Every structure is written in structure tokens, then in C-alpha cells.
Amino acid sequence: MKTVAGHGATNGGWTIVVPVKALDRAKSRLARALPAPARRALVLAMATDVLRTCIATPGVARVRVVTSDPDVAALARRLRIEIVPEPVGAADRSGGDPLNAALTEAIRGVPGPVGVVTADLPELRAPQLARVLAAAVGHAHSMVPDHGGAGTTMAFWTGPAGARIPRFGPDSAARHLSEGGAVPLDEVDPSGAAGRDVDTPEDVLALAERAVGEATAAVLRAPSVAQGAHSAGVSATMVR
Ligand SMILES: Nc1nc2c(ncn2[C@@H]2O[C@H](COP(=O)(O)OP(=O)(O)OP(=O)(O)O)[C@@H](O)[C@H]2O)c(=O)[nH]1
Ligand SMILES: C=C(OP(=O)(O)O)C(=O)O
């Protein structure tokens, strides 16, 4: 896989890095609701919507996707954005932290302000991301917690390249805040589009009531996705 010079490789403005896990492994927490093909389709669709949003956001100069997946790379080429190849097998060589290893590689040496935006935010639109960036520009390091409070949907750095340490993964909100000294962006509501990541069947079920991007909406109409999320949601309610 080659790095593709792509969307808006201009000087100035934000570089946004979007990590996308290999589709065969992605969103394993949805496995109890969705069979592998439906899960794969949903992950790719959410990534499509997030990448389109990043491209369309004022103030974003450059979008990079970091992945080892050929289908995600093909998507990035169609959207004319940069691919940062994540070596296949990096998951096994990174001390169990492939996501932060991939992100560290993708933000290394990037000039100007940098943000990481996760690929599972299907409600995120350009005006909302623009508001997040406007808030983030005032801080050396900032973040947006996810709607559950423990995770992180976005992290930003405006300072020197050496100070950029991504801390995604388990307990990432606490780790970004206490270990990394990140500021939570008070202007951003974690229960809104910027914080509503999709991790569980219940999250998928909740999307039925929300305005999602075009690609995600198309996949949610597929009976295998709608029914899978619904039956898992119902059984989760029953066991509570
Ligand atoms: N490039 C890359 N991206 C990753 C990796 N792990 C997670 N991501 C991405 O990081 C973001 C947040 O990850 P999660 O919400 O935990 O998604 P996930 O790992 O697919 O979900 P689970 O398998 O259910 O834990 C999503 O955009 C993922 O696609 C990885 O090893 N490499
Ligand atoms: C990888 C993360 O995502 P999630 O909590 O959605 O698994 C994170 O929050 O850092």
C-alpha cells in the first residue's frame, strides 16, 4: 500500500487523522448482533461518512486515514485522501497497543495543528466538526469524551510535534486528561454528534432515531443490520 497524496495537501489549517481498524477485526462488540458482512458494511459506511465530513469541514487542510485494510484504502483513494499504511501484523508487534502505535505514526512530523477523529461517529457533520476545531484551537491539547464518559472520540494538539501522544483505548478519557494533560472541550456536548460513537448493538439501535450520514443510513436500511441490532437491543433490555 502506498501513501497517496490527496485531499487538500495545503499549508496551514488542521490535519485530521482518522484511524480505521482492519474490517475483519473491527467492531467486535457488535458481533452478538451483526454477522460479519453486516458489521463490515457498517464500519465502512461510518468511516465513509466521517471522512466526507472531515473533507468538507472549513479549517481542515489535510485528511489522513491510517489503516491496514485494502477496502478502507480503496475508499480513501476514491475520496482522494492520504493513506498512512499500518503494517499488517503491527497489532502483534506493538505491545498490544496497535491503535496508538498507528496514530503515533500518522501524526509524526505533521506540521501545524493535528486532530484524531474516530471513524465511528456517523452523526458528525461539517458544521459540528468546525465548531469543535474552533474550540480546540485555543488549547495545546484537548479532547472530546464519548457519550459514556470513559472513551475519547477526538483528541487535538496545537503545540510542538514531540508533545503529541495519543492515548486511545481503554479508559482513554481519564488517560488523555490526567496523564496527557488534555483539556475537555466544554463547548462540545458529548451526548451530541461529536460524542456519540457506535460501540454496542444498543448504540446501533439508537441510530434509528438520529440523523446519520448518507452511507450509514443506507446500510442501516439493510434488514440484516436493522434486525440484528433490534434483537440484540431487545435481549439486552430483557436481561437488565
Ligand atoms: N488503524 C487502526 N485503527 C483502529 C485500531 N483499533 C481501533 N481503531 C479505530 O479506532 C477508533 C476507535 O476504536 P473502537 O471504537 O474501539 O473500535 P473497534 O476497535 O473497531 O471496536 P471493538 O472491536 O468493538 O473494540 C475506530 O475508528 C477504529 O476503527 C487499530 O488497531 N488500527
Ligand atoms: C478506542 C476508543 O474507543 P472506544 O471507547 O469507543 O472503544 C477510545 O475511547 O479511546
d(CA 41, CA 53): 18
Ligand 1 atom 10: the closest Cα is on which residue? 19
Ligand 2 atom nearest 168 alpha carbon: 10
Q: Which CATH superfamily is domain 14-239 in?
A: Spore Coat Polysaccharide Biosynthesis Protein SpsA; Chain A (3.90.550.10)
Q: What is the pLDDT of residues 52-95, one digit of tens each?
A: 999 999 999 999 999 999 999 999 999 999 999 997 665 555 56
Mean pLDDT (whole number) for 8-31: 87
- Which ipTM value was assigned to this complex? 0.98
Mean pLDDT (whole number) for 122-144: 97
Decide if pLDDT at 199 tops 70.
Answer: yes
What's the confidence (pLDDT) of residue 92?
58
Please provide the average confidence, as pLDDT, over all residues in the chain: 90
Q: Where are the domains of the chain?
A: 14-239
- Cβ(91) to ligand 1 under 6 A? yes
- 6: pLDDT confidence band, cut at 50, 70 and 90? very low
- For the entire predicted model, the pTM comes to 0.93
**Per-residue DSSP letters for 129-187?**
HHHHHHHHTTSSEEEEE-TTSSSEEEEEE-S-GGG-----STTHHHIIIIIT-PEE-TT
Q: What is the pLDDT of residues 46-63, one digit of tens each?
A: 999 999 999 999 999 999
Ligand 2 atom 7: the closest Cα is on which residue? 169
d(CA 24, CA 205): 22
Distance 150 CA to ligand 1 centre (A): 15
DSSP letter (8 states) at residue 192: S
- Give the torsion sign (CA, 218, 224, 229, 230): positive
- Cβ(108) to ligand 1 under 6 A? no
